[in-house]
Amino acid sequence: MKQGSPLQSHQWGQYERVIVFDGVCNFCNAFVNFVMDRDSQDLFKFGTLQSQPAQQILTQLQLSTQDYETFLLLEKGKIFTKSTAALKILRCLPGFWPWLYAFIIVPRPLRDMVYSFIARHRYQWMGKSDTCRVPSQKERARFI
């Protein structure tokens, strides 16, 4: 998949930025918490890869609809995955986090190799839930 591919007509295309993550992955949920804690402007919406709308996107991209190797960033009608998605998210957060976007100059295959190593071991390191994350009442408006 080419980074920045246009999102074909989809219900989530109406949002400026959507992070689509593995809802049962504790590592992924920790990253979502990290973003939510710093995203004071509510730039991001969140959805799980297990949801029907996300399954449609995965099918469109010819990515696995069961074994999640990446998360997605839908940004302004374009799709980003792996390290590119992570760096684009960090670029939008306040503080020193945008400085990490400088790693975008590292060739994507090298960045994605590191990303894939982490993704392969995330369940081993932080575990997995039996069910998808259920947002709190306060978080509910940010989840689609």
pLDDT digits (tens, 9 = 90+) for 106-133: 999 999 999 999 999 998 898 888 777 7
The answer to whether the Cα torsion of 84, 22, 50, 90 is positive or negative is: negative
Asked if residue 137 is part of any domain, the answer here is no
pLDDT at 72: 93
Q: Is 141 within a domain? A: no
Q: Which domain holds residue 48?
A: 5-131
CATH of the domain at 77: 3.40.30
pLDDT on residue 9: 79
The predicted pLDDT at position 1 comes to: 65
This prediction's pTM: 0.90
Find the radius of gyration of the CA atoms of the chain. Answer: 14
Q: Which residues contact 117 (CB under 8 A, 6 or more apart)?
A: none
In this prediction, what percent of the chain has a pLDDT beyond 70? Answer: 99
* Number of domains present in the structure of the chain: 1
Q: Is the residue at 98 inside a domain?
A: yes
CA 12 from chain centre, in angstroms, equals: 14
